Structure 1
Amino acid sequence: MKKLLATLLLASALAAPGVQAQLMPTEPLDGIVAVLDEDVILKSQLDRAVAAVEYQYRSNPQQLPPRDVLQRQVLDRLILLKLQVGRADQTGVKMSDAEVDQTIQQIARQNNLDTAQLRQAVQQQGLSWEGFRNNVREETVVQRLRQRVVQSRVQVSDTEIELLLKNGGIQRGQVHLGHIQITLPDGATADQIHEAQAKAEDVVRQINEGMDFTAAAIRYSDAQNALEGGDLGWRGFDEIPPAFVEASESLQPGQTSAPIRGPNGFHIIRVVEKREAAQQFVTEFHARHILVKATEVVSADEARAKVDALRARAVAGEDFGKLAREGSEDGPTANIGGDMGWFQKNAYGTSVAQVIDTLADNEISQPFQTDIGWHLLQRLGTRTQDRTADAERDQARQTLGARKADEEYENFLRQVRSEAYIEIRLPGGDRGTGSSAGG
């Protein structure tokens, strides 16, 4: 979450033109640096965004590329953000002011701040609080758009999971990677491929001669996370392309790969750290349960009184299962003597988890209340189970889903760019449509 805060601070200048106009000095005419569909990006927006990046790297300015290169990188990022926000708006993906407030409060808490302190931190960087709020909204809307696109396009079948497990396709463990991408245009010519490869090889040479990888990513990478230094964070080995896995297996932490050819260009990865996965053991509980519901007819006090009476009979020696069949109103368990089977602690919510953790085997709890009524719980036993196989199956599902999600959303972004009219008005910028947004 701290990394998210840094990203939001860095990008908070990417706000609507009306917001940015309040941040920039008054000018006779604010130039246009890009036109996309019916929207525009103003020079003041781009200047503010570039200034935010420069402020973020003020202690290491040597990591930044020349200003004209940085301008184009920031503009590409701003274009892609606006295209996604526009598509989200067209498809009804929105975020209310109340949801923005809740998200900002969560960001503040995760960074050990209150909202007032977060606002002060934003303003100390010379940024607009309204711009920051707008960026929180846009970043969250883009996340929701991605979730909607992925959910509509990505499905993982049991057959695919079985095949992945059968073929030994699950590799346990995680790797922390840095990433640089040198993108090729669709339908790249042999000359363009040769030029991109030569550029990637030159980047690797500079890194091997001492250039900081983060600085190289900021300067040369075409990936969406270039301005964050190409940091991919921790990823499972099955969440990264097979070519990355193969390269990372032969690298030690701190080492950088040779250029890796991929479908959309050349990639350079750096292994920051590796960690092995251990067997996964979980504690499970076996319990029985009685519920008396509070309704419009039965008050909470009356439900409590009934539960008290049932507990007194159980403590006096009556069978808990018989009492559950007689008095419990929990449909799934009442007819089987309140038996909840074996379950992990949080399977039935925090109230049950808190109570069952305090009980000894065969002990009956005191009555406790939830939003549906009053409860009794009898803990029957505990056991430790090896859930490594289940975890591997879950990992296989997540791996296949993540692979498909990345591919499908990249295809979606390519489609969005190709359908958009984009005209770059920076000096030396492309003029035209579609792929001029980069990536």
Structure 2
Amino acid sequence: MRLVLALLLAVASFATAQAQSLLQPVDRIVAVVDEDVILRSELDMALANVLAQFAGREAQLPPREILERQVLERLVVTRLQLERANASGIRVSDAELEQAIQSIAAQNRMTPAQLRTQLAADGLSYEEFRTQLRDEIAIQRLQQRVAQSRVTVSETEIDMALAAQGDGGMIYRLANILVALPEAPTPEQLQLAQTKVNGIKQLIDRGEMDFAAAAIRYSDSPNALEGGDLGWRGLDEIPVLFANVIREMKPGQTSDPIRGPSGYQLIHLAEVREQGRQTITEYRARHLMVRITELVSPEQAQRKIEQLHARLLAGEDFATLAREHSDDLSTRVQGGDMGWFAPGAWGTAVTQQVEMLQDGQLSQPFRTEAGWHLLLREGSREQDVTEANRRNQAREVIARRKSEEEIERFIRQLRSEAFVELRLGT
């Protein structure tokens, strides 16, 4: 969930925008989106959000008319995605919405009641907040559905990505500026885009504007108002066209314009760092459980586990007792042997117990929802999981890169197929 404290700060200007809209006798239409419309008051509210986020840094924003067009385009794309989500049967229940609100409150170290109070103090009604959050969740689910239906990652792709890294897993902090082009640009559109991107590059090279400020002012990418920030990425999650350029760059450098599928890009390399070797402590243990059932009460299960615990302390063999008495069917035949496992593999309760023990030590009886348990920790070892993690990370980043590309393609398709009429100038 990306809604954190910044969301609460961003809505601080809502009251002002709403008050201004009340002074207008008629709330005019600024965009027609298929059979729906976007009103001036909605645009003013969204602009107020942006201005609140850039309080004290307003000089970084583009001129008002350009900012309005950027924000209006975001509203159009949002509206189109909501229409598609609704047509696809995506619904966000009240229970799911409440769970999301609780999560946001927890991230901001608040209770839901305190969050509601904060929203009111910032001038945003709780119902308006719920509506916005419901819309965001619906859009996220639509995008997830698009990605899941279109994206697969093969083992061959992972092998190729790791081979292409060739650097042991260096990661790069990147930002971008996009000068967008339509699907089939005319020579005039190509020339105009080239002139624009070259002009932006010259501004950056001469030091007249830093990269983040240039991205905010000129980029057509959805992350423009974040200064073009792309975060930390490995070369395996960057399209090959850009990865080959980035590999030759030094921190602080900005690439020459690169023609990509969406238009001309400028890539800025902020930092580079190496991912070190990664190890975890693995454990080997034996497990014995007395399950709580309708026929076995918690008290009965506890008495039995305590009797078994006493027998083990008296010297009886754990494996033998596990085979005879354990209700854990996954380990019973093996005498309770759980094999080597990483923390968390058998749940939080088991992890907490096994980490407290020494090799060869027997636990005290402990209870979970399933029943009463005993653990015998037989061994521990440090396991190098760098390669396994690299493969898992490569799988994740390839999937994320492909998802981003598919979602971007999906949004462009939505936009091109929709009837959209912008009326900012009227």
Give the structure-1-normalised TM-score.
0.89
Structure 2: how far apart are the matches of 1:2 and 1:286?
Answer: 38
1:63 to 2:60 alignment: yes
Q: Distance in 2 between matches of 1:342 and 1:263?
A: 47
Match of residue 285 from structure 1:
283
Query: Counterpart in 2 of 1:325?
Result: 323
* Partner SS for 1:340: strand
**Distance in structure 2 (CA, Å) of the matches to 1:171 and 1:256:** 24
Distance 2:4 2:235 in 1: 23
Match of 2:88 among 88, 91, 115: 91
1:376 is matched with 374
Between 368-377 and 415-424, report the one with greater CA deviation: 415-424
* AA at the equivalent of 1:371: E
User: Are the counterparts in 1 of residues 13 and 122 from structure 2 also a CA contact under 8 Å?
Assistant: no
Counterpart of 1:437?
A: none
Cα shift at 1:249: 3.1
User: What is the root-mean-square deviation of aligned Cα atoms in Å?
Assistant: 2.5
Match of 2:36 among 23, 39, 42: 39
Instruction: State the match for 2:423 in structure 1.
Output: 425
Contact 1:7 1:228 in 2 (8 A): no
Q: State the distance in 2 between where 1:86 and 1:8 align.
A: 26
The worse-fitting range, judged by mean Cα deviation, of 238-247 and 41-50 is 238-247
* Correspondence for 1:239: 237
Q: Are the counterparts in 1 of residues 286 and 335 from structure 2 also a CA contact under 8 Å?
A: yes
Could you tell me how far apart the structure 2 residues matched to 1:408 and 1:187 are? 18
SS where residue 155 of structure 1 aligns? coil
| Residue 136 (structure 2) aligned to one of 134, 139, 142 | 139
Question: 1:217 aligns to what SS in structure 2?
Answer: helix
Aligned to 1:358: 356
Aligned partner letter, 2:320: K
Contact 1:13/1:52 (CA < 8 Å) preserved in 2?
yes
Compared with structure 1, are the counterparts of its residues 3 and 132 closer, same or farther at alpha carbon in structure 2 (3 Å cutoff)?
A: closer
**What is the aligned counterpart of 1:192 among 181, 189, 193?**
189
Residues 202 and 258 (structure 1), Cα distance of their counterparts in 2 relative to 1, 3 Å cut: same
Higher mean C-alpha deviation, range 419-428 or range 48-57 = 419-428
Letter matched to residue 34 of structure 1: A
Aligned length: 423
Question: Aligned with 1:347: secondary structure?
Answer: coil
CA contact 1:105–1:114 (8 Å) conserved in 2? yes
TM-score, normalised by the number of residues in structure 2: 0.91
Contact 2:13–2:52 (CA under 8 A) maintained in structure 1: no
Alignment match, 2:333: 335
Amino acid aligned to 2:43: L
Change in 2 beyond 3 A, CA 1:13/1:98: farther
The aligned counterpart of 1:210 is 208
Kindly state the Cα deviation for residue 180 of structure 1 after the two structures are TM-superposed. 1.1
Task: Verify: 1:177 aligned to 2:177, yes or no.
Answer: no
1:2 Cα deviation after fit: 8.1
* Of 331-340 and 191-200, the range deviating more from structure 2: 191-200
Identity of aligned residues (%): 50
Which amino acid is 1:224 matched to?
P
Cα deviation 1:96-151 (Å, max 9, x = unaligned) = 23333332332233233444554455455544443333222222222222112211
What is the letter of the counterpart of residue 227 of structure 1? L
Match of 2:148 among 148, 151, 154: 151
Q: State whether structure 2 residue 102 is matched by structure 1 residue 112.
A: no
Distance 1:12 1:234 in 2: 30
Which 5+ residue runs of structure 2 have no aligned equivalent?
none
**Do the aligned partners of 1:175 and 1:273 also contact (CA within 8 Å) in 2?**
yes
The answer to whether the Cα contact below 8 Å between 1:287 and 1:378 also exists between their aligned partners in 2 is yes
Structure-1 separation of matches of 2:12 and 2:246: 34
Q: Distance in 2 between matches of 1:33 and 1:334?
A: 69
Counterpart residue number, 1:433: none
Q: Aligned in 2, Cα 1:115/1:305: closer, same or farther, shift over 3 Å?
A: same
Name the CA distance, whole Å, in 2 between partners of 1:249 and 1:162. 19
The 1:341–1:13 alpha-carbon spacing in structure 2 relative to 1, beyond 3 Å, is: farther
Contact 2:12/2:123 (CA < 8 Å) preserved in 1?
Answer: no
1:43-99 Cα shifts (integer Å, max 9, x gaps): 111112112212221201111111110110000101111111221122222222333
User: Hey, what's the Cα distance between the residues in 1 that align with 2:166 and 2:405?
Assistant: 18
1:227 corresponds in structure 2 to: 225
Deviations 1:397-417 (A, max 9, x none): 123212221222222222222
Distance 1:70 1:163, change over 3 A: closer
The C-alpha deviation readout for 1:210-263, integer Å capped at 9, x for no partner, is 313222112111111112221212222322222333333333333322212111
| Counterpart selection for 2:254 from 253, 256, 268 | 256
Query: Structure 1, unaligned stretches of length 5 or more?
Result: 15-19, 429-439
Secondary structure of 2:265's counterpart equals strand
CA displacement, residues 264-289 of structure 1 (integer Å, 9 cap, x when unaligned): 10111222222211111111000000
CA contact (8 A) 1:283 1:385 kept: yes
Do the aligned partners of 2:11 and 2:52 also contact (CA within 8 Å) in 1?
no
